[in-house]
C-alpha cells in the first residue's frame, strides 16, 4: 500500500446512449484532466460506455463487450499505463450469452479485476444477470479497493462485508435516479447513505454519478467523495453538469481511525455471537 495521501477523482459525465465510441472518448478526455490535476485513482459512472436505459435485452447484448479484451477496457488500460493511474469504471459486460452491469478495476500494469453488480434495479432485471463474483476486494499499490454499483449502496451488507475483508476505499460507479418523496433542494438520498456507510464502517467511499436525461430518465449528479469520518471530503458535485470532484486522502487513516476511543472499535465491536453467520464472519479478515 502506498504510504501517504493520494488524490482520488470522481468523474461525473453525461454518456450518450448507444454511442460507445464517443462515450469512451469523452471519458478519456476527463480522465486526462483528472490526471493533470494529480489524481492517481479515478472513478467513472455506471455503464459509462453504453448509457443506461436499454429497451430490450437484444439492444444491451449488441452494445456489450467482453472483459478485459474489449475495446473499452483496452482504451482505459492504455491511459492507465500512460498516466500511472488506477481506474474503476462501469461498463456493459458480455460473457458468452450472459450480460452483466459491471465495473472494471484497472491499474498502470493493466487489468486487475471485475465486479458485477449484485443488486439489480428495476428493469435491469430484464437485461442483466445478477453479479456472480461476490464482493471482492482488490489489493493494489494504492491500497485495498472495494467496488459497489448504484443500488448495491442501499444494502448495508455491501459496505460491511467489504470492510470486513479489509477494504480501505469503496469506489461506486453509479447512475442515481430521483427518489419519491424527496424535498426539492435536498441532497440525494444516495449521498446520505454513502455518508452513513463511510462512518459506520470507517471507510472512504468515492461515488461517480452521471448527469443528463436519457430516454426520459433523469439522473441526479451530486457525485461525492466521503471521508472515513462520514463527512464529504469533496462534493457533492453539480446536479446538472459534467464535473470532476477530487480529494487528497490518506487511505491508511481509515484503518488507524477505526479505534474511536478507549473502548470502541466499530468492526471489532460487532456482536458476532449473535449475528456473525448473517454478516460474513467466515470471510478472511485483516487485523485492524
The helix (H) or strand (E) run that includes residue 22 is helix 20-36
Residue 67 CA, distance from chain mean position: 17
Measure Cα distances from 208 to 38, 144, 238, 268, 274 in Å: 17, 18, 12, 30, 36
**Would you state the cell numbers that stand for residue 253, as one nine-digit string?**
487513516
Of the candidates 10, 117, 124, 207, the residue annotated as catalytic is 117
Of the candidates 10, 65, 124, 150, the residue annotated as catalytic is 150
Q: What are phi and psi of 34, to 5 degrees?
A: -65, -40
User: Is it true that the peptide bond before 7 is cis, omega within 30 degrees of 0?
Assistant: no
Of the candidates 46, 65, 93, 124, the residue annotated as catalytic is 46
Cβ atoms 49, 20 nearer than 8 A: yes
Residue 286 CA, distance from chain mean position: 22
Burial class of residue 262 in the structure, from the number of CB atoms within 10 Å of its CB (0-12 exposed, 13-18 middle, 19+ buried): exposed
- Annotation says 117 is catalytic: yes
User: Is it true that the peptide bond before 68 is cis, omega within 30 degrees of 0?
Assistant: yes
- Annotation says 150 is catalytic: yes
- Annotation says 46 is catalytic: yes
Non-local CB neighbours of 71 within 8 Å, separated by 6+ positions: 20, 24, 65
Cβ atoms 213, 15 nearer than 8 A: no
Q: Give one word for 171, left, alpha or beta, with left for phi > 0 and alpha for psi -120 to 50.
A: beta
Handedness of CA 157, 162, 164, 167 (dihedral sign): negative
Q: Which are the catalytic amino acids?
A: 46, 117, 150
Amino acid at each position: 500500500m502506498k504510504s501517504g495521501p493520494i488524490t482520488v477523482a470522481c468523474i461525473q459525465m453525461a454518456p450518450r446512449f448507444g454511442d460507445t465510441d464517443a462515450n469512451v472518448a469523452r471519458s478519456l478526455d476527463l480522465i486526462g484532466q483528472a490526471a493533470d490535476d494529480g489524481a492517481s485513482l479515478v472513478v467513472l459512472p455506471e455503464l459509462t460506455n453504453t448509457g443506461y436505459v436499454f429497451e430490450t435485452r437484444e439492444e444491451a447484448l449488441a452494445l456489450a463487450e467482453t472483459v478485459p479484451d474489449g475495446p473499452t477496457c483496452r482504451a482505459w488500460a492504455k491511459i492507465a499505463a500512460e498516466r500511472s493511474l488506477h481506474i474503476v469504471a462501469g461498463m456493459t459486460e458480455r460473457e458468452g450469452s450472459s450480460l452483466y452491469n459491471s465495473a472494471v478495476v484497472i491499474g498502470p500494469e493493466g487489468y486487475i479485476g471485475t465486479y458485477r453488480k449484485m443488486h439489480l434495479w428495476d428493469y435491469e432485471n430484464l437485461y442483466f444477470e445478477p453479479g456472480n463474483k461476490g464482493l471482492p476486494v482488490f489489493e493494489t499499490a494504492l491500497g485495498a479497493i472495494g467496488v459497489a454499483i448504484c443500488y448495491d449502496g442501499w444494502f448495508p451488507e455491501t459496505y460491511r462485508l467489504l470492510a470486513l475483508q479489509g477494504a480501505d476505499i469503496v469506489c461506486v460507479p453509479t447512475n442515481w435516479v430521483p427518489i419519491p418523496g424527496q424535498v426539492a433542494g435536498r441532497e440525494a438520498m444516495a449521498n446520505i447513505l454513502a455518508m452513513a456507510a463511510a462512518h459506520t464502517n470507517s471507510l472512504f467511499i468515492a461515488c461517480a454519478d452521471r448527469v443528463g436525461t436519457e430516454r426520459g430518465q433523469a439522473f441526479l449528479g451530486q457525485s461525492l467523495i466521503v471521508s472515513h469520518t462520514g463527512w464529504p471530503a469533496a462534493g457533492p458535485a453539480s446536479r446538472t453538469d459534467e464535473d470532476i470532484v477530487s480529494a487528497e486522502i490518506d487511505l491508511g487513516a481509515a484503518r488507524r481511525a477505526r479505534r474511536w476511543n478507549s473502548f470502541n472499535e466499530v468492526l471489532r465491536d460487532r456482536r458476532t455471537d449473535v449475528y456473525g453467520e448473517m454478516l460474513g464472519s467466515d470471510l478472511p479478515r485483516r487485523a485492524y
